[in-house]
Amino acid sequence: MNINYIKLFVLGILFLFLAPLGVYASELEFTDPDFKDTVEVSTSSEAMNIPWEWVALSPVYEYSFTNSEAYTKDKSLEVKINYTQTPNYFRQIFVFNSVLGVWQPLLTKDVDNKKYLSATTTAVSGKLIILGNKNILTHGAASWYKYKNGDFAASPDFAKGSVLRVTNLANGKFVDVTINDFGPERAKHPDRVIDLDKVAFGKIASTKAGLIKIKVEPLKIIKPLINKSQLQINSVPSVAASSAIILREKDGSVVWGKNEKKIAPLASLTKLVAIRTLLDLKPSLNKVVTYKVQDEKYNYKYCKPGESAKLTVKDGETLTIENLIYSALVGSANNAVETLVRVSGLSRAEFIKRMNSNVKDWGATSTSFVEPTGLSPDNVSSPYDYAIISKEVYNSPLIKKFSTVLSYTFKTVNTKKSHTIKNTNKLIRSNQYPIIGSKTGYLNEAGHCLMTRVSSPQGNLIVINFGSPSSAASFYDNEQLIRYGLLQLKK
């Protein structure tokens, strides 16, 4: 018997025992008969890291041609890796790029009824592995809803425009659907893979069934499931932010950090402290107050008119304190904060002094404020300090309510002018994560800053990044850290 197949047999027995730990027995072969006797396959003895969001579902296989002249690059190598168990999440064959130091995905076909993955490569030697991502479900439940009346579906994993083949596991019927919506919420429905349009559902099951067991197979992927940074073999996330932290709320322990005690401007994250300071004064939320144009003039000490996020109201218009709080936290309106300070019953100087006193009492010793909105770069903190602050601020259930709504609509009391304010945190709008607290911030001097507070059965996490280079990078940094933090809590 070929020595390589003996190795694979022994390795298979070993991996059968390891399968309960998340590793699956498998074996690799090249299916083209022209190559079977000229390609040598072995398992790598070298310890290799894999991207932190992925799990190894096979050993690392090394292959090379014993006779390199037997292979020409005009013919692709078809590789087939068998497996013994079928996880319910996405899996793919990867090849290691030794130049870039990353695992790169190969276009992979998953034939789960015969328990193998297949892919093609043109490299005459290399390392191959099956990696799985538990965040992307391929097997589980599907429900239906009435939306566009066609072959469509909602998915939390695949971008709009992607095409999936959805197969009913009970009868083998399938339908090819285009993703046109987001859902179901994975936090509420952890086993739900997809929601089908009623028309598409009816092609593979009776709508009376409600829920069916299905599998999905990507036929066309619009947006890569795997970001380049996710392919790095780092065991932790790689974020663009200059500093960041993941803090476990119940005990204050640091799950992960990057320069987490570095002091820097915190921009509009200031506003959470201002609102908590106001609420501690126990104002009546229904109290009607008058807006004064003088309020926004404080903002123009730090920026030009038109550069500041603001609530568009005129001098003399009236609205409630609740209207102003929502405007400050949902829309990050700077003038709304100054109005709240003015009507708080404290002088502006005393209010800011109270903000500084509060954070020091909470244990945030590296934080200080010179004004209440975050427009000044002299308002400074660190991710570590701000995590302490966030923990204390969210002892107020009102702040949780105010900061996590998708949008808020109100009318001024005297002029009946309608205002709709949308949340500045797009992670809340995506409904992908169980967010129970949020605030965005930006200044030229601060970069993009973001705090999110997420819930899980293992406890709440506070996730903060300072100094991300763009809005998109800030959300991506924070989203990576949310996923990493939730993963660590499950271990």
Return the closest-CA partner of residue 27 out of 38, 39, 43.
43
pLDDT tens figures, 29-38: 776 666 666 7
Q: Does 127 lie in the same domain as 45?
A: yes
Contact 160, 134 (CB under 8 A): no
Examine residue 340 and state whether it is found in any structural domain, yes or no: yes
Q: Rounded CA gap, 346 and 278, in Å?
A: 10
Contacts of 168 (CB under 8 A, 6+ apart): 174, 204, 205, 212, 213, 214
225 within some domain: no
CB atoms within 10 A of CB 455: 16
128 plus 146 within the same structural domain: no
Mean pLDDT of 206-221: 91
Helix (H) or strand (E) holding 361: helix 348-362
- How far CA 393 is from CA of 78, 81, 179, 195, 358, in Å, comes to 57, 52, 39, 37, 10
Please report which confidence band the pLDDT of residue 70 belongs to, taking 50, 70 and 90 as the band edges: low
392 shares its domain with 261: yes
The three-state secondary structure class of 319 is strand
Give the residue-averaged pLDDT of 287-299: 97
Model pLDDT for residues 426-479, shown as the tens digit of each residue: 898 777 788 999 999 999 999 999 999 999 989 999 999 999 999 999 999 999
Query: 10 Å Cβ neighbour count for 84?
Result: 13
pLDDT tens-digit profile of 93-111? 988 888 877 788 888 888 8
Residue type, 324: L
Given a cut of 90, whether residue 82 has pLDDT beyond it is no
The CATH number covering residue 43 comes to 2.60.220
Cα–Cα nearest to 485, from 183, 225, 232, 257: 257
Query: Could you tell me if residue 236 is inside a domain?
Result: no
pLDDT for 225 equals 58
Residue 229 is assigned to a structural domain of this protein:
no
Range(s) of the domain holding residue 150: 138-220
Instruction: Look at residues 135, 168, 191 and tell me which one is the last residue of a structural domain.
Output: 135
Q: Do 37 and 109 sit in the same domain of this protein?
A: yes
pLDDT at site 417? 97
- Is pLDDT of 41 > 60? yes
In this prediction, residue 2 carries a pLDDT of 41
| The pLDDT of residue 11 | 37
pLDDT tens-place string over residues 241-289: 999 999 999 999 999 999 999 999 999 999 999 999 999 999 999 999 9
Rounded Cα gap, residues 293 and 312, in angstroms: 11
Q: Are residues 191 and 249 in the same domain?
A: no
Q: What is the pLDDT of residue 16?
A: 36
Do 142 and 190 lie in one domain? The reply is: yes
Q: Which of 46-60, 165-179, 202-216, 416-430 has the lowest mean pLDDT?
A: 46-60
- Where residue 179 sits, what CATH number does that domain have? 2.40.40.10
Closest CA to 478 of 443, 437, 423: 437
CA-closest candidate to residue 266, choices 456, 447, 20, 11: 447
Q: Could you tell me the pLDDT band of residue 14, with boundaries at 50, 70 and 90? A: very low
Q: What is the pLDDT of residues 369-398, one digit of tens each?
A: 999 999 999 999 999 999 999 999 999 999
* Residue of 392, 388, 387, 348 whose CA lies nearest to 371: 348
Regarding whether 481 and 427 lie in a shared domain, the answer is: yes
- Rounded Cα–Cα distance for residues 161 and 419 (Å): 33
pLDDT at 24: 40
Q: Alpha-carbon distance 285 to 273, whole Å?
A: 17
Summarize the chain as % helix, strand, coil (round to 5): 25, 30, 40
Do 144 and 131 belong together in one domain? Answer: no
Indicate whether 117 belongs to any domain: yes
Least trusted range by pLDDT, from 40-54, 103-117, 168-182: 40-54
Residues 197, 257 share a domain: no
Q: Is residue 228 part of a domain?
A: no
Is residue 153 domain-resident?
yes
Share of the chain above pLDDT 70, in %: 88
Per mean pLDDT, which range of 63-72, 152-161, 249-258, 318-327 is the poorest? 63-72
> Of 189, 220, 251, which closes a domain?
220
Average pLDDT value over all residues in the chain: 87
- Tell me the Ramachandran region of residue 325: left when phi exceeds 0, alpha when psi lies from -120 to 50, beta otherwise: alpha
Residues 304, 420 within the same domain: yes
CATH code of the domain covering residue 414: 3.40.710.10
**pLDDT given at position 379:** 98
Residue 271 CB-density burial (10 A; 0-12 exposed, 13-18 middle, 19+ buried): buried
Sign of CA dihedral 333, 337, 342, 347: negative
On whether both 399 and 268 belong to a single domain, the answer is: yes
Q: Is residue 96 classed exposed, middle or buried when 0-12, 13-18 and 19+ CB atoms within 10 A define those classes?
A: buried
Bridging pattern class, strands 243-248 and 461-468: antiparallel
Rounded Cα gap, residues 330 and 429, in angstroms: 12
- The pTM assigned to this predicted structure is 0.76
Do 155 and 70 belong to one domain? Answer: no
pLDDT score for 292: 97
- Mean pLDDT over residues 114-143, rounded? 88
Per-residue pLDDT band at 235 (split at 50, 70, 90): low
Decide: 291 and 339 in contact? Cβ < 8 Å: yes
> Given 82, 104, 135, which residue is the final one in a domain?
135
Tally of domains within the chain: 3
